[in-house]
Amino acid sequence: MRILFVGESAAGHLAPIVAVFEEINQKKKELKLNSLEFMLISSKSHFLQEMLEGVDLPFKTIRAAKSGVASPLQPILNFLNMIIGFFQSLLFIFDYMPDVVFSKGGKVSLPIVMVSWIFRIPIIIHESDSVASPVDKFMFKFAKKVAVSFKDSEEIYQSPKVFFTGNPVRSFIMKADREKAMAEFILNREKPIILIMGGSEGAREINNLVIEILPELLENYQIIHQCGVGNYNDVKSIIEKMNIPNLNNYHLFPFFKKKIADAYVVCDLVISRAGANTVSEILSVDKPSILIPLASAVSDKQQKNAFHYSQSGAAVLLSEKNLKPHLILNVVNEIFQSNLKVMEMKRAARQLAQPEAARKIAEQVINIAK
């Protein structure tokens, strides 16, 4: 049995793919799947190898169109990349000939999905966000099954092929040891711990806001801050020049990799972007959150994701366009002023979590591949 995964080289795509891959591997002995082969197709980036570190999942990369228009030549380059990517997909699918394709969507998935459909290879697509991008909606037509992360999406995409699973979360996220993590981060129990993230690449807007209110935050809280690899040196340099008291309570990281599980288990509150993968991880570990959606996200996906979670009471939604530094500080203080508020947010997060998402998708992938 050959299973092909395809998705963009970003955490929002790779993390769910790894979760499903691990779940299928666990079922290998149980279902006596002796001849089981895997392959991942993605777009080329430094982030790809970092995300797959320690994961025994072979991968190849193909050319794909890029989001945004960086130059007047970008549309032409995108068109050429799409053509090259299609022929790369055609050659690869013809050579590998998988029994099933599991797609996380995105532009890199488009040629793989279309070529797989031409070869009559069954396709399962997973949609993480509450509203799919135009590219993903187009690919739904070629899929045998479409898994969705939001229950409401079943009504939006009315079709017998659509089924609800939630968003797959990697198993190690929920297995961290709090005592060991507290020691590794050099944290104490006297002050609440806030985890601040801006997505896999970091977010300069959030970093700037954190820097501006850091002295006030450190008066009452301990901070774990993931600022992004490209932002790390700048943020570190700025903070070192500020002569902030209690700086031993501030812990700066470029990117967590698997240490993210330790950061989740020790924190009392998460301040983050609202990417579907990140929020799913936050829910899976029952953490209250303040969500700051990326204002320029395609189809306003992060805004819709965050609105859904804030309605349930699991998160507080703050708009990036109207965000002021001391607004974050006020919201943080309000949350921690009431133990009841924290408990209610944790309970709401627990109710929204879908810990069986990877298993549900893995079962569909195996059943279709047989």
Same domain, 274 and 207: yes
Q: What is the pLDDT of residues 87-124, one digit of tens each?
A: 999 999 999 999 999 999 999 999 999 999 999 999 99
Same domain, 341 and 200: yes
Beta pairing class for 37-42 and 59-61: parallel
Three-state SS for 221?
coil
Co-location of 19 and 58 in the same domain? yes
Are both 164 and 232 inside the same structural domain?
Answer: no
Percent of the chain with pLDDT over 90: 65
- 211 CB-near residues (< 8 Å, 6+ apart): 235, 238, 239, 242
First to last CA, the chain: 7
Instruction: Indicate which CATH number applies to the domain containing 110.
Output: 3.40.50.2000
Range of the domain at 341: 172-352
Which range, of 2-6, 65-69, 305-309, averages the lowest pLDDT? 65-69
Kindly state whether residues 131 and 50 are assigned to the same domain. Answer: yes
CA atoms within a 13 Å half-sphere pointing along the CA-CB vector of 330: 6
Place of tokens 């002023």: 337
Residues 327 and 194 in one domain: yes
CA distance 360 to 65: 31
Whether residues 128 and 188 fall in one domain: no
User: Which of 17-31, 124-138, 200-214, 328-342 is least confident?
Assistant: 200-214
Concatenated DSSP letters of 99-123? SEEEE--STTHHHHHHHHHHTT--E
- What's the token pair of residue 363? 């079962």
State how far the Cα of 150 lies from the Cα of 158, in Å rounded to an integer. 13
pTM above 0.75, yes or no: yes
d(CA 353, CA 312): 12
Q: Which residues contact 359 (CB under 8 A, 6 or more apart)?
A: 23
Residues 116 and 231 in one domain: no
Identity of the amino acid at 136:
D
Of 239 and 198, the structure prediction assigns the larger pLDDT to: 239
Could you read off the pLDDT of 344-357 as tens digits, one per residue? 999 999 999 999 99
Position 262 scores a pLDDT of 97
Using only C-alpha atoms, what is the Rg of the chain? 21
